[in-house]
Amino acid sequence: MPLSKEVLDSIAFAEQMGFSKLNLLPPAETREAMKHAPVVAIPSPVAKVVNTTISEYNIPVRIYIPNGTGPFPVVSYFHGGGFVLMSIDTHDEICRQLCAGSNAIVMSVEYSLAPEHPYPAGPNDCIAATKWMMKNAAMYNGDGKTMAVAGDSAGGYMALYTAQKLKAEGITLNAQVAAYPVTDHYSSKHASWQKNKEGFVLTAAIMKWFWDNYLTDASTFDEASPLRTPDFSGLPPALIMTANYDPLRDEGKAYAKKLQEANVPVIYKNYENIHGFFGLGEMGQQAMQQACIFLRENLNSNPNLISNMTIKSVD
């Protein structure tokens, strides 16, 4: 299928910004350069934004509170960036849209980044922050008993990983959402790693660089790969979205399939786009609406408010 104008424009913009060469500089320099990327001129409105730090773990978080009376359900959101890059600032607009569209509090987590903080530092931060919010949601007019996790790319990994670990502790979440998630170490050699290895901004070489910064001990490849967990039963309902022109496509689809085989309610959607489209452009907005609808339905958050939102059929 020919690439759409939306996809071609995204590739051109990413090439202009140098996003296809992220692995050519030390992580600290790349992070500094990314601070100069364009920002949204008029951020999507929410009722309130609170910047704070979970002092007991020294984890910065940004909490978005929607309009309305509450108490609101809560979503822990984890930003993408390959375990190495990006921040709660780069994903501010995504979290604003998710907050307003799902009518839920969204807590964006500034988890520790590799290589300074390799596995399992980042996932441990995500788990700790989510458990903290469960206990403290009432401070923000939230209901800590009605909670979901969500994220994109490496943040999708963090969401799936957190859901698995909380389930192992006997903590039940209401939902999990992952956009083009990392689910498996590259040693598995999924077919899309070869088919989409270059030409679509996120290259296989960049993704390998991300993993090699995040994880250096081969003995932990299995435990650090959510797809390799032996038991998928009892996990929360899931929405898994992938990009067709993405090295990560097949491992995201494989994760959805394993959930389905374990009788976990799951929606899987593959978009004709490249990695990083969530919330951007027409398809990105469709994906955002799909995520918001899914969260509303699974968090029981006033379903009457979604009557005007539509999504395309799910594969």
Q: In whole angstroms, how far apart are CA 160 and each of 40, 170, 179? A: 28, 15, 11
| Cα–Cα distance, 266 to 257 (Å, whole number) | 9
Residue-wise DSSP of 184-229: S-GGG--HHHHHTSSSSSS-HHHHHHHHHHH---GGGTTTT-GGG-
Q: In whole angstroms, how far apart are CA 111 and each of 53, 80, 140, 217? A: 11, 11, 21, 21
Q: Is 153 a catalytic residue?
A: yes
Residue-wise DSSP of 124-153: HHHHHHHHHHHHHGGGGTEEEEEEEEEEET
| Cα–Cα distance, 131 to 163 (Å, whole number) | 11
SS3 61: strand
Set 87, 190, 275, 301: catalytic member = 275
Looking at residue 37, the DSSP 8-state letter turns out to be S
On whether the CB atoms of residues 139 and 71 are closer than 8 A, the answer is no
Q: Which amino acid is at 204?
A: A
On whether the CB atoms of residues 188 and 217 are closer than 8 A, the answer is no
Q: For residues 8-32, b (16+ Cβ closer than 10 Å) or e, as one string? A: eebbeebeebebbebbeeebeebbe
Set 102, 153, 225, 301: catalytic member = 153
* Positions marked catalytic: 153, 246, 275
